Chains A and B, each alone.
Chain A
Amino acid sequence: QKEVEQNSGPLSVPEGAIASLNCTYSDRGSQSFFWYRQYSGKSPELIMFIYSNGDKEDGRFTAQLNKASQYVSLLIRDSQPSDSATYLCAVNSGGSNYKLTFGKGTLLTVNP
């Protein structure tokens, strides 16, 4: 059973701080990794994806991947109250036959 684990939270940070969200996965053959944000009552929206070890930055967001440790993280700099949502980590273990396994998500609350 391929698994993706996330701390369910809630993770609470003050406005302007860095929020750090973590995810581990069990399938060593996984090739691509995704972070989605889901507001309450809405569908998930893609924040960013990463394929290679190291960091990938997009605006206030940085994804970090360590395949040896089977670990992927998302950093949110200068957190805003509008970042308050559930963050879902997803791992593609199907290769070209796309099959995402999602973690259960971490609830982030950014306090003004």
Chain B
Amino acid sequence: KAGVTQTPRYLIKTRGQQVTLSCSPISGHRSVSWYQQTPGQGLQFLFEYFSETQRNKGNFPGRFSGRQFSNSRSEMNVSTLELGDSALYLCASKTTDEQFFGPGTRLTVL
């Protein structure tokens, strides 16, 4: 069974730009969560989608948004990029008990 896939794996953007990251969950998984990981703050929860609905949200500004499609694939968008948005963005899909992470997208904002 294929794991969680994320594209692109690496991105370089400049301040003020926007970016869209994509995540394909494990087949059959309907829940997709997004996390931001930085050396200073660690892994922080962004939001969770289930059956195309945002079910939970972390403490991030409105510049961070997401959506989920009918095939459970999810996208995350960050608008008006700031230097502090440089991070590893991880997507995870879950069954009832277990959450599996994708390889992540490394975003660098210059």
Q: Which residues of A contact B (CB under 8 A)?
A: 32, 34, 36, 42-46, 49, 88, 90, 94, 97-105
Chain B positions within 8 Å of A42 at CB level: 103
Map CB proximity to A onto B66-110 as digits: 1 under 8 Å, 0 otherwise: 000000000000000000000000100010011111111000000
Cross-chain contact of A98 among B43, B94, B101, B102 (Cβ < 8 A)? B94
In-complex Cβ contact of B104 among A34, A43, A94, A103 (8 A): A43
- List 10 A-B pairs, minimum CB-CB distance, nearest first: A104-B42, A102-B43, A43-B101, A99-B56, A97-B56, A97-B55, A44-B101, A43-B104, A43-B103, A94-B56
Pull 11 A–B residue pairs with CB atoms less than 8 Å apart, ordered by A: A43-B103, A44-B43, A45-B101, A88-B43, A98-B31, A98-B94, A99-B45, A100-B33, A100-B99, A102-B43, A102-B45
**Is there a chain A Cβ closer than 8 Å to B44's Cβ?**
yes
